Amino acid sequence: GEIVSESEFDAVYAANDIVYYPEGLDFTFGEGTEEDAHSAEEAAGHMVVHITEPGTYTVSGTLSAGQIAIDLGEDVENNPDAVVTLVLNDVDITCTVAPAVIFYHVYECGDDDVDAATKDVDTTAAGANVVIADGTENNVSGSYVARIYESYELNEEGTEVIDSKKLHKYDAAFYSCMSMNVSGGSEGTGVLNILAENEGLDSELHLTLNGGNINITSGNDGINTNEDEVSVTTVNDGTLNIQVTGETGEGDGIDSNGWLVINGGTVTAQA
């Protein structure tokens, strides 16, 4: 019943500061094309609801142009207390310039060491957690952010980027930079519908699905876990339905760059 804060020092605050790929910039800004770019006016129409402290946050209602962004700070990756659980309780979020939900910095329970990689990962302690509340229907419609450079190196002619360091790149409508769990409630009756311009549900390391009913319609990959030879996508329970239209890429139903482990539930994918 309170108006959300606009102070960045509060646990939850709102700001017009969405990360997106701007139009009209040359090749030294990033890898985005004209199709990936958005106007400043479109971006300014989006409100970001920031979550900045650990805890459980229940969200409901409609955010017709905006994003939920979880960021506990750049130094929390090794802090096991840096955990956020986002409970989806009849929420409807639409974002046309970036992911509609994004976890930036929380605790990372996994390890990206290729030599130690295994299909048997335990993400119970992950800092990014999503719960689909029983008896609810939740709709998340989102876009993506093409790769933006933090720094770059050009060829001798100055016409091409030959090396670069990434500042931003978020491919999916529902995105986590850290390992993530998505779970149903105690009865597993909640529904999460993801409508994605590009990819649907992504994690940069591991993704574990523990229940609920997840329906993904995406232009590119339905699910993507990104770390080559390391990432594990695990399905333990629930119902997962994926439809890939191919409008923004070749598109896989589930693209796990390490392993795909299915221990239970029902998985249907068309790509």
**What are the pLDDT digits (tens) for 72-121?**
999 999 999 999 999 999 999 999 999 999 999 999 999 999 999 999 99
Query: In the predicted model, what is the mean pLDDT of residues 204-222?
Result: 98
User: Rounded to an integer, what is the distance from CA 32 to the centroid of its chain?
Assistant: 18
Residue 260 pLDDT grade (very low, low, confident, very high; cuts 50, 70, 90): very high
Q: What SS3 class is residue 184?
A: strand
Residue 262 pLDDT grade (very low, low, confident, very high; cuts 50, 70, 90): very high
Residue 222 pLDDT grade (very low, low, confident, very high; cuts 50, 70, 90): very high
Q: Is the pTM of this model over 0.95?
A: yes
- What is the pairing mode between strands 259-262 and 180-184? unpaired
Query: In the predicted model, what is the mean pLDDT of residues 173-188?
Result: 98
Give dist(CA 72, CA 54) in Å, integer.
7
**Mean confidence (pLDDT) of the chain:** 97
Structure tokens at 168: 């931003």
Query: In the predicted model, what is the mean pLDDT of residues 54-69?
Result: 98
> Quick one: 188 exposed, middle or buried, by C-beta within 10 A (0-12, 13-18, 19+)?
middle
